[in-house]
Structure 1
Amino acid sequence: MQKRPNKISRSRRKNSAQTIFTRFMLIVAFFILWIGGIGVRLVHLQINQHEWLAEQAQDQRRNQVKSKQLRGTIYDRTERALAMSVQAKSLFADPAEIEDVEGTAKKVAAVLKLKPSDVFNQLTKAKVENKRFVYLARKLDEDAAEKINDALKNTDLRKFDEPRFAGLHWKEEQKRSYPQKTLAAQVVGFSNAEDVGSAGIEQSQEGLLHGAVIKKWQDRDRLGRVYDETELEEDERELPKDVVLTISNSIQYKTEQALEAGVKASNAKSGMAIVLDPKTGEILAMANYPTFDPNRFNEVAPESLTNRAVQSMYSPGSVFKLITYAAALQENMIKPDGEIDCRKGFIEVGGHRFNDPHATKVMSYGDAFAVSSNYAAIKTALGLGKDRFYNYALEFGFGSPTGIELPAEARGQIRPPGTWFGDSLASMSIGYELNVTALQAASAYA
């Protein structure tokens, strides 16, 4: 007996095939739509967002760094360096890159010989405040930097720049060096940690010495290695300039040695000395005692930083008698070999008695000056009168700054005649009731 075909089975196979085909077409359609969507997105990115994407890519691989040109050099008159700048490195931390703050603090403190608690507190505070830059060590030379690199090397860390330690980096800076150490320290001065002049020539000539800030674009690969560097052009960049002083290194050294010996011999606390060329007025030496080493200015007592030759005032005493005699000579009132009777031994002016142990005889004005006679100087000043005496004192530069290119120069002090007392003219003629600087006195004598 012959069986009939199973129509139900055929129908099911047909439906199953149809279902598979439908699903396949759906998958194909999905892939077509997916690829089409990607294509549309790519076209959108390439055409509509090309510039934005290019900027984003550039920002990720490029960063701007700043550095400063080396500060100008300060020379003596023979072009021997008194102050100069050298390249240095400063170690800093980026707290955002540090996961183990405590471990980092202990390691860094051990290498830099610091207290672990201080480093830990510094890093923790910066991390809380979202700071990305914390100095750990400033202005180290190349040898010191290499030792730190070796001590902090972590071979398991994939980091291109030194040191090979998470969150630590070097910053290129400069360090001021004073090769002559204490020589002319108050004249040369020093610059601070930010390379800005803070005293002496370093301060007064800041506008010439300072180096311009240089901006550079650095392109880095994914490991942080610099493969291209471009310096930005700046039309108004000011190049640092060197400064040459009139100071002579050898004369300055001998002057400082003599000054120190004199201060110690007289049991004085301090002293200053100036050497000028009488023909040109150039300052060949300007010494102060005590002095200091600008390389270690943070350790110096504040009083040692003062340049007493230009910043301190004092009563000149008998030094000022030369001004009295010079004014009288200019007025043709006296002659060096002219005589003056000093046998009285004292003189009274305005109710004030001025004694003179040297006034015992008739002597020439030259001899009176040589023995520093009070009587002769006062008698001469009284002949000049208040106004002429005062005007000559001003012409010699007293009461006004000399104009030397050093900061904080004192003006000195000499009161106008309208404010004088009855004995003021006599007192001023022998160097009292007025104040001068050592530079003013030296300039007047030169």
Structure 2
Amino acid sequence: MSPRLKIATIFIFLITGIITVRLFQLQVISHGYYHDIAQKEHSGFTELPARRGEILIEDKNSGEVFKLATNTTLNLLYADPYLIENPDLVAKTLTPLIFDLEQEKELDTERMETETDTAYEIEDELTREEALSKIALKTDTELFEDFQDNLKDELGEKTRSQILLAEEVDQETITELTTTDLDGILVTENGDVYAMPPEINDKGDVAKALAEIFQVDAETLESTLEGTNRYIVLKRKLEPEISSQIQDLIDNDPDDNFLGIGMIEEYYRYYPEGELASQVLGYVNYAGVGQYGIEGFFNSSLTGKKGYFTSQIDGTGNQITVGDSVIDPAEDGDNIMLTLDRTIQLEVEKLIQKGVENYQAESGQVIVMDPETGEILAMANYPTYDPNIYGDVYDLTEIELTDEQFQYVYNMGTEEEPTYWLYTHVDPDERIRIFQDEDDPETWYSYENFYGPEVYKNKTIQAIYEPGSVFKPVAMSAAINAGEVTPNSTHYCGGPIQVDEFEIHTFNDEYHGTETMTEVLVHSCNIGMSYVAELLGRSSIYNSMAKSRATLNITKIGPTPNW
């Protein structure tokens, strides 16, 4: 065999070996990986949402069931500026339907406050006064016209002026981007990377350079740098009647003026009874996760399990009828029926609010229990909140502090992260959280409701406090169980008594003479209970306390009929 032929033979065997090894790697070692890729490319996947379970309450008298927590859908309005040919017409048509005067007034007030703060920073007095004289709130007409003009600009913007490409990149990437000096690419101090499509002359070259830095596909990045403006949100939670009017515009549009306008349904948790039993309920946050109360504790049961539908599709995205299809149906969340009686709960909440306000108490709590079954018929707290707008508890309002009040402002945090409390009463301590304006230390704020997120807590079962006279039956039952007294045992209540350094009185300084243990409870007699406590001893009282538990009883956890 000639040397040339030997070299050719060795080369052929070498190439064959390389191909064999590569095929073994692809077909055996990496089979699962590439099979998954193929499946994703040739499978249609649709997620099937689960319905969150409802929380129900019954009117024990009528037997009627009411929904405390349920689900509703409201439309999100969006626009695709790329498809809108006449933004002026669309803006003029939509503005009367989606303009929110109260919201725009709030935004305008914020604008005015910001401009005023900026003006006060001007050192020259004449210039400062001139700037302040020009600051004013806009009229309702001006707000409407500004909203319409801004909407027109948004709908007409075919190319986005700025695109966020990456957030908080590392220092090495920042250095590389800075030294590369690409047109239309901006890197902020905290490492955010923005692209300004109108300023990029050669998007292909810039895309290739960025693709190498970020290790992404250059073609996809070039498409992003084109900056085509697709899908902007115009308004969320459209009222049903507004949705109907907009849908009519879309359906009856022979000239395709509203071709780029669309709506999609968004699911929201809805609490039809508003504030009723809100601390018992809790709420569902923006991510769909239950917080506090029943919503939080039973979140997994209420959430259910999402399902999916998969099918084989061809290159154009159409389903292949002979391919395998898999349906894994969604499992709706469980409904929960509470033992609360709606009529009693409503009345108790009215009474507790009246009591707190009349006696200027910090807060109030009430529990109503069925003594035969232990079921909780009412559980109320005041102050309270509406779980439909749970975020409103964080709203702040400006307050004026007197020199005397400043003496009772304490920083319970650190100098770097201060936490200020204003004590409105000392011994017993009553305080409210207050906030200092970072830009204007003379300005202070408090929560509008005075308590902020503290109202989320169900203090009847989460707060720690002395139980008072409601604990007398526990101590009395412990004494009966220990054989120290019977319901008919007697004791003489003749006046105040001394226990250690304390003088014990009845609540009204009226004394009952000879009374049975039953009458001690009826009179809520502190003298009689001191006698019982002395018989029991401290260790026995403590042990009886440790054995006592109060729980919120919940029934019918699981699927219930769709009421």
TM beyond 0.5: yes
Deviation at 1:197, TM superposition (A): 1.9
The residue correspondences of 1:151-166 to structure 2 (distance < 5 A) are: 156-157=255-256, 164-165=259-260
Does 2:247 align with 1:143? no
- Tell me: higher relative CO, structure 1 or 2? Use CA pairs within 8 A at least 6 residues apart: 2
Q: Please state how far the C-alpha of 1:76 moved relative to its aligned partner.
A: 1.5
Q: Distance in 1 between matches of 2:516 and 2:363?
A: 36
Query: Structure 2: which amino acid aligns with 1:402?
Result: T
Could you tell me how far apart the structure 2 residues matched to 1:264 and 1:205 are?
33
For residues 128 and 155 of structure 1, the distance between their equivalents in structure 2, rounded to whole angstroms, comes to: 37
Equivalent-residue separation in structure 1 for 2:305 and 2:161 (angstroms): 33
CA-CA distance at 1:98 after TM superposition: 6.9
In structure 1, the residue matched to 2:76 is 90
Alignment-derived partner of residue 283 in structure 2: 190
Pairs aligned (count): 334
After superposition, residues 238-387 of structure 1 pair within 5 angstroms as: 238-300=331-393, 301-343=452-494, 345-349=496-500, 351-356=501-506, 357-359=509-511, 361-387=513-539
Structure 1 residue 86, shift from structure 2 partner: 2.6
User: What is the rounded CA distance, in whole Å, between the counterparts of 1:284 and 1:179 in structure 2?
Assistant: 20
Is the radius of gyration larger for structure 1 or structure 2?
1
Unpaired stretches in structure 1, ≥5 consecutive residues: 1-54, 407-446
Secondary structure in 2 matching 1:176:
strand
Q: Can you give the 5+ residue segments of structure 2 that lack an aligned partner in the other structure?
A: 1-36, 105-146, 166-223, 394-451, 556-563
Q: Which residue of 2 aligns with 1:80?
A: 66
2: distance between equivalents of 1:287 and 1:382?
35
Percent sequence identity is: 28
CA distance in 1, matches of 2:161, 2:537: 71
SS of 1:285's partner is strand
Which stretch of the first structure deviates more once superposed, 121-130 or 370-379?
A: 121-130
Change (3 A) 1:181 1:347: same
Match of 2:340, SS?
Answer: coil
Equivalence map 1:52-91=2 (5 Å): 66=47, 68-77=49-58, 78=63, 79-91=65-77
Deviation per residue, 1:239-291 (Å, 9 max, x gap) = 32222221222222232233333334433343222222222211122222233
Distance 1:290 1:246 in 2: 22
After TM superposition, give the deviation of residue 187 of structure 1 in Å. 1.8
Distance 1:219 1:142 in 2: 37
How far apart in 2 are the matches of 1:254 and 1:276? 14
Residues 364, 241 of structure 1: alpha-carbon distance in 2 compared, 3 angstrom cutoff: closer
| CA distance in 2: counterparts of 1:210 and 1:126, whole angstroms | 38
Deviation at 1:141, TM superposition (A): 5.0
For the residue of structure 2 that corresponds to 1:80, the secondary structure is strand
Deviation sequence 1:67-113 (CA, Å, 0-9, x none): 52332222214532222213332234567x47899979966983532
Structure 2: how far apart are the matches of 1:389 and 1:205? 34
Q: SS where residue 246 of structure 1 aligns?
A: strand
Partners of 1:182 and 1:231 lie apart in 2 by 50
CA contact (8 A) 1:149 1:164 kept: no
Return 184-193 or 206-215, whichever deviates more: 206-215
